[in-house]
Amino acid sequence: MHGECLCGQVKFEILGRIPKLYQCHCSLCRKQGGSSSNAATIVAAENFRWLRGEEIISSWVKDSGFRSDFCSKCGSPVPNPLRNLPYVWVPAGLLDANAQLEICAHLSIASKAAWDTIASPGVKYETVPELSEFLELLHSKTHA
């Protein structure tokens, strides 16, 4: 599957089966995406490949470790490494529109915006779950 930023200058591909999606409703993700939540997935680094534009990506890292990578031309959030782990965080909105993807989880619902209504199915976590449990859920072949 392929993905690209708003202006098309940053392009990437994911090899193999695409993990399920999640939505994070925390204030950082709301501010990063300008919406009620961000939808994303996490893929193994070995299944992720930049096709072009990596040199125009800018990064901002909060003291807490929260990282936001974005295209320096159009400002779209773009994939970034997940801490020092062999995974890449991928914003779902950049993926090919015809993909058959499902949301399997909602994170940080305890801090969602007062006006946010969670309508889609999936496991609901008050905060951020244990990473190993979360990765297992994203990469499972069964429905949540």
Q: How far apart are CA 116 and CA 141, in angstroms?
A: 29
Residue 142 binned pLDDT confidence (cut-offs 50, 70, 90): low
With respect to residue 50, please indicate whether it lies within any of the assigned structural domains.
yes
The tally of domains found in the chain comes to 1
Q: Which pLDDT band, with edges at 50, 70 and 90, does 65 fall under?
A: confident
14 vs 118: CA distance, rounded Å: 28
Nearby residues of 69 by Cβ (< 8 Å), 6 or more positions away: 57, 58, 59, 77, 78, 79, 80
| Residue 140 is assigned to a structural domain of this protein | no
Specify the pLDDT at position 121. 85
Cα 2 from chain centroid (whole Å): 14
Cβ 78 vs Cβ 91: under 8 Å:
yes
90: domain range? 2-134
pTM: 0.91
Residue 143 lies in a domain: no
Higher local confidence (pLDDT), 86 or 141 = 86
Looking at the predicted structure, is the pLDDT value of residue 7 above 90?
yes
Distances (CA, A) of 110 to 48, 106, 126: 32, 10, 5
Tell me the CATH number at 78: 2.170.150.70
Both tokens assigned to 121: 């199915």
Confidence of residue 141 (pLDDT cuts 50, 70, 90): confident
Residue 128 lies in a domain: yes
Q: What is the DSSP string of 71-139?
A: ETTT--B--EE-TTSSEEEEEGGGB-TT----EEEEE-GGG--TT----S-SEE-SSPPPHHHHHHHHH
Type of residue at 144 = A
The H or E element that residue 30 is part of is helix 27-33
